[in-house]
Amino acid sequence: MAETNTVQHPILWIHGEALGPANPVLLAHPDRPAVFVFDDELINGAGLSLKRLGFLYECLLELPVTLRRGAVAAEVLGFARRHQADGVVTSAAVDPRFVAICAAISAELPLVVLPLEPFVALEAGDLKRFSRYWRRAEPLVWDQFSPPEPGPNS
Amino acid sequence: MQSGDSLPEPTKELSWPSDPDDLPRRLAGRAELQTTLQQLFANASGELSPIVGGWAAAQKQLAALDPGAYGRSRNHLGGAVTRLSPYIRHGVLGLAAVRDAVLARITRRLEGEKLINELGWRDYWQRLWQQLGDSIWEDQEPLKTGHPAASYAAELPADIAAAQTGLACMDAFIDELVSTGWLHNHARMWLASYVVHWRRVRWQAGARWFLQHLLDGDPASNNLSWQWVASSFSHKPYVFNRANLERFGAGVHCEGCAAARRCPFEASYEALEQRLFAMPPSPRRR
């Protein structure tokens, strides 16, 4: 993956794991063209119902983003060419499809992947059962909680 | 967050030129959105959900968050659940932002523990997905039901897909799943247990079906929860009985159910486990 400062005129690839205005990509580059691609292979392969597509569409209408459909990497690269971009910026995702799409994009253009704020900053460890994960994670989450100071009448 | 015909207002005009093949951003209302999507995605079945997507809708849902009430009532179908899952799944709201909203709204740790714990489950499933990749579609462990994996049907039976099982509870859950794209977690568990254990269907068929419909459909949370029910990601299969469903389902399903007198869920847990599973004999003592 490319470093952030190697890309001066990127386009932004918005994907289905970050459809909010707090997407770090939109915050970092508010003036750059952004695109979302409805992934035909995923939609047809999984047999997604109209409800799911409608929900995504409504989320997207609130964001400054061009909407496309088709093969994701090809559409993102086509969008980049139309805007004479020198790179692509996106946000991290968990879906394994993301890795393959990123590989196809970065074969042609520098790709910067911005991290999302984690729920808990936890190093990799035992995930065999939730209880083992939670034993390590729970104290870290609650470290961030400070009960309100009691008021004068309480 | 549910509403009638209004669509989110596009936040601003795009500051770059459009292309003839771009999908439309100017739509008069939800009816036009539905028609447009039907034309664009002819294979996508059904209609829009009454649940509206978007940041504004998510904010309204977040404003209604009551961590204490959630902790007390979340297992009941009518409980104070958050309904934030579709927005979290698609990153309209980040999990960290929801965590902060919970922590800001409570005065004592106890009030927020259950909800924080559930957010932890979401994080856990995502971490596992990162680790396991597409193998979340495969059994993580052997089933503990005593039945060989091959004895489970590969496809979802037609009466289940059509909400015509004849069981009022299951048909109501299926109707809600298909028409709204959302189901209470307890209903998901009951329905999944019915599909896998009573109907002996592979969990993958049920998981794929849920992902077609659930607005929060996330392969990690969904598949690994189905595996938890099936027992390929837990120590034993998850089953429920009629008393459990009546207690947490407010008893609304059984009244008037055509199958109430021959209810397949009416039994003790011991009897159900004996009926549904072929547990291997305990290991011999040496």
- Kindly state whether residue A93 falls inside one of the protein's structural domains: yes
What pLDDT was estimated at residue A147? 84
B125 and B56 in a single domain? The answer is yes
Task: Tell me which long-range contacts B263-268 makes (C-beta under 8 A, separation of at least 24).
Answer: B263/B167, B264/B167, B264/B198, B265/B169, B265/B240, B265/B241, B266/B241, B266/B242, B267/B241, B267/B242, B268/B241
Q: What is the widest separation between alpha-carbon atoms in chain B? A: 78
**Smallest CA–CA separation between B145 and chain A, in Å?**
19
In a domain, A12, yes or no: yes
User: What is the SS3 string spanning chain B?
Assistant: CECCCCCCCCCCCCCCCCCCCCCCCCCCCHHHHHHHHHHHCCCCCCCCCCECCCHHHHHHHHHCCCHHHHHHHCCCCCCCCCCCHHHHHCCCCCHHHHHHHHHHHCCCHHHHHHHHHHHHHHHHHHHHHHHHHHHHHCCCCCCCCCCCHHHCECCCCHHHHCCCCCCHHHHHHHHHHHHHCCCCHHHHHHHHHHHHHHCCECHHHHHHHHHHHCCCCCHHHHHHHHHHHHCCCCCCCCCCCHHHHHHHCCCCCCCCCCCHHHCCCCCCHHHHHHHHCCCCCCCCCC
**Whether residue B111 sits in one domain with residue B175:** no
Which H or E run contains A10?
strand A10-13
Kindly state whether residue B39 falls inside one of the protein's structural domains: no
In a domain, A134, yes or no: no
Q: Do residue B111 and residue B216 come from a single domain?
A: no
From A102's Cα to the closest Cα of chain B, the distance in A is 15
Give chain B's domain count. Answer: 2
How high is the mean pLDDT of chain A? 94
Same domain, B119 and B233: no
Q: Which of residues 54-113 of A touch B (CB under 8 A)?
A: 54-59, 61-69, 82-83, 91, 94-96
pLDDT of residue A125: 86
Q: Is residue A68 part of a domain?
A: yes
Residue A123 has a pLDDT of: 87
Q: Are residues B220 and B109 in the same domain?
A: no
| Shortest CA gap B50–chain A (Å) | 9
- Is residue A52 over pLDDT 50? yes
User: Residue B231 sits in which domain range?
Assistant: 149-276
Q: What percent of chain B has pLDDT over 70?
A: 93
Confidence of residue B285 (pLDDT cuts 50, 70, 90): very low
- Taking only the tens place, the pLDDT of each residue in B163-205 is 999 999 999 999 999 999 999 999 999 999 999 999 999 999 9
Is A10 contained in some domain? Answer: yes
Q: Give the residue from A49, A98, A103, A141 showing the smallest Cα distance to B220.
A: A98
Q: What is the pLDDT of residue B286?
A: 37
Spatial separation of the C-alpha atoms in residues B239 and B198, rounded to whole Å: 9
Query: Given B94, B129, B133, which is nearest A22 (Cβ)?
Result: B94
pLDDT tens digits, residue range A96-136?
A: 999 999 999 999 999 999 999 999 999 888 898 899 999 99
- What confidence score (pLDDT) does residue A142 get? 97
Range of the domain at A64: 4-114
pLDDT digits (tens, 9 = 90+) for B130-154: 999 999 999 999 999 999 999 999 9
Q: How much of chain A exceeds pLDDT 70, in percent?
A: 94
Q: Which is more confident, B282 or B76?
A: B76
Residue A72 counted as domain residue: yes
User: Which whole number is the average pLDDT over B196-215?
Assistant: 98
Statement: residue B281 has pLDDT above 80 = no
With an 8 Å Cβ cutoff, are A22 and B116 in contact? no
In a domain, A44, yes or no: yes
Rounded to whole angstroms, the Cα distance separating A82 from B17 reads: 10
| A55 contact residues in B (CB cutoff 8 A) | 49, 51-53, 86, 90, 181, 215
The whole-number pLDDT of residue A149 equals 74
Q: Could you tell me the CATH number of the domain that includes residue B111?
A: 1.25.40.80
Q: Which ipTM value was assigned to this complex?
A: 0.94
Q: Are residues B158 and B251 in the same domain?
A: yes
A53 in a domain, yes or no?
yes
- Answer with the one of B132, B167, B193 that is the final residue of a domain: B132
Q: Are A135 and A127 in contact (CB under 8 A)?
A: no
Domain boundary among the residues B75, B107, B132 is at B132
Chain A, window 123-152: residues with a beta carbon less than 8 angstroms from a chain B beta carbon: 124, 127, 130, 133-134, 137-138, 141-142, 144-145, 147-148
Domain count, chain A: 1
pLDDT digits (tens, 9 = 90+) for B58-80: 999 999 999 999 999 999 999 98
**Which CATH number fits the domain that encloses residue A70?**
3.40.50.620
**Surface of B (100-129) touching A: CB under 8 A:** 100, 103, 106-109, 112, 116-117, 119-124, 126-129
| pLDDT of A154 above 60 | no
Cα distance between residue B61 and residue B87, in whole Å: 9
Give A124 or B278, the one with higher predicted confidence.
B278
pTM of the model: 0.94
Q: Express each pLDDT in B79-104 by its tens digit.
A: 989 999 999 999 999 999 999 999 99
Residues of chain B contacting A61 with CB distance shorter than 8 Å: 7-10, 25, 27, 54
Indicate whether B211 belongs to any domain.
yes
